Structure 1
Amino acid sequence: MDISFIRPDWKVEKIEIATLNGERARSAGSNGRLGDHGKSCSARVARVTIDGEAGFGNTGLLTEEMAEAVVGMRLIDLFDENGRVLERYRIPLEYPILDWIGRRRNLPVYELVSAGRRKPGTPLVVPCYDTSLYFDDLHLKNDRDAVELLKEEAAQGFAKGHRNFKIKVGRGGRHMPLREGTERDIAIIHGVAEVAGPAGKIMIDANNAYNLNLTKEVLAAAADVNLHWIEEAFHEDDALYADLKDWLRRRGQNVLVADGEGLASPHLVNWAKKGLVDVLQYDIIYPGFTHWLELGARLDEWGLRSAPHCYGSAYGIYALGHVAAAIENFEFVEYDDIAIEGMDASAYRVENGLFYVPDKAGFGLDFDEERFAGQVRATGWSR
């Protein structure tokens, strides 16, 4: 990113932290390893004031001690010689800082980071998928009723503009008996695919609740579905990945293998370079936006695909739209329908399976400054 415009006298004047609360459009149930996710959500947001102007953004791991150290620092000293936020400031402060730069230059962040990949001033439109299809059916005894419920939920997403869907699978890993849970997974995959239609892409995510043989069984049963990837089928293991990839090749089944969310193996990127994984999914908040600018460039060089994870992060949804402009082989925005009080995302929209990123300064989000100030007093702090 070009930081030559930053004046040497611009300093961080104030940092304020607040928790903004909100809700999903629909309560989310269990997944293959965790219980009910519920409806409530929140975003930990920092407002950073530099040269009398504020930038807002998600923050994590920012302590009051770090804030005290940063206040008074020159903005230029938060960056390295390549125009990237220094590692130690990324998760705590990269989002409000990048938002501030976008606001100061009156440019969307995607224009700052696209590095010539797109024609300036053209609309940014990115594929997206509905990520809300959890185990909302565990109370139902009948598979037919379970399928109808998940089809109804997918239809809600379809009505909101989605055409691609990710389905949580792995019911037999914890929440149901193994055979019954696996059969229900397969039935629900087919039911949601009916809603998506032949052009809609289906992703399935087991949250490591399968093993290799169960993965093959489900993929074989879903061979008639437009299945785009299987995500976190089992805990990362290069021998099992090699077996799965060989099995898919011999069958001629074009399903991608995706992984990288959560406590991913440190060997995962190297395994991907060897052709054992197709799509990398490290989180957009941890390790973050700048990390993805660097990793995405490397994955592009290697012919691999990027699909940053962001479930549960209302801010991350919108950040994904911007980082997509910098990554050639970017797959999808993971869309979790969340409304956060005091954070206005109405400039963004989903239509026909696409995520439209607004041509607004910074990350394109507007914050209710009075509400934010109240939440600083109630739930946060300032330095």
Structure 2
Amino acid sequence: MVMPPSKALMTSAPSAARQRALRRHALRRSAAAFVLATLVALPLAVLYRAAVSRPPGASWGWETSLPSLVASEEEEEGAEDSEDIKLERVLKKASTGDNTVILTTLNAAWASPGSVIDLFIDSFHSGVRTNSLLKHLVIVAFDQKAYEQCVKIHCYCFALGTEGVDFSEAKRFLTAGYLEMMWRRLDFLRLVLEKGYNFIFSDADIMWFRNPFPHFYPDVDFQIACDHYVGNATDLRNIANGGFSYVKSNERSIEFYSFWYSSRLRYPGYHDQDVFNAIKHDPYIVGIGLTIKFLSTKYFGGFCEPSRDLNKVCTMHANCCIGLRSKIHDLRIMMEDWKSYLSLPPNLKRLQTSAWRVPQNCSLSSSHR
């Protein structure tokens, strides 16, 4: 007797489905058995190999193995992150409680052992209340060699990629490569402000001798050092130097940095410092409400205009100096002068005002760094 089609399907379908389910179940059991065997056998093999190869009486060394394994995993995860995420991570780790970081930039020419970056770091160690500031310093590397050297000497490094541009070699003042590097730096600083971080930017050829924070003006958006200081912090006749600045993150400063960066098109062939000294008079800056003050060379000096009192100096900049060798030569002498000052007894320190033996190889004939 032939069953109705509907009943035939109802009888045969469960049988076929059951067969497929049994096959899947068998495959899962086989796979599970294989995984279990692997999980059991692999540690035993590792233990056997370690037992055979390690010297008699040697410890297993779990304590030293685990951190390196975790570190390598973090590096692998970090390698997959975008540049933006990496920047956010390093800024967060280095920032103070009020979201302030110290930034400097570095290329291979300034990164070699014994070069500018080593003197820069040494100044923090030798300065008065500056050593602790290193935990807030982020070194921004323009090239791979600079980044590799950075991670050897400092904990917070960031590789700033610029596609198709080689920033590794020393850039002669006002050459095309120099200008491109300066403008790339300025655009990066704008990005830091947009992320909500205040910053102190310092060129690496600036020696930090004292904590500068007590000498910054409160409630000012933008503060900048000078090649020449006329004696009044608000006077626009001050000749600014872009190598050292303290900037608060807000709408006004972000808009100002965008305006500053776009102004490079109005002044082709000029670097960011010269363009700033031109646009500081622009009514647009008054319109956005940006507050600007200039830092006195009494505290923030340089070869252009040295800080005369070693009891007050915070930073000294190798400005008005062209050529890497000249910079390094004079920076080393300046560090020797500072350490000689520190070695004096307190009563002689108070009498020690002008004791710099620099500039020597650096020329004061130039008005720019």
TM range (shorter): under 0.3
Whose Rg is larger?
2
TM (normalized to structure 1)?
A: 0.24
RCO greater where, 1 or 2, for CA within 8 Å and sep 6 or more?
1
- Larger strand proportion of the pair: 1
- Larger helix proportion of the pair: 2
TM (normalized to structure 2)?
A: 0.25
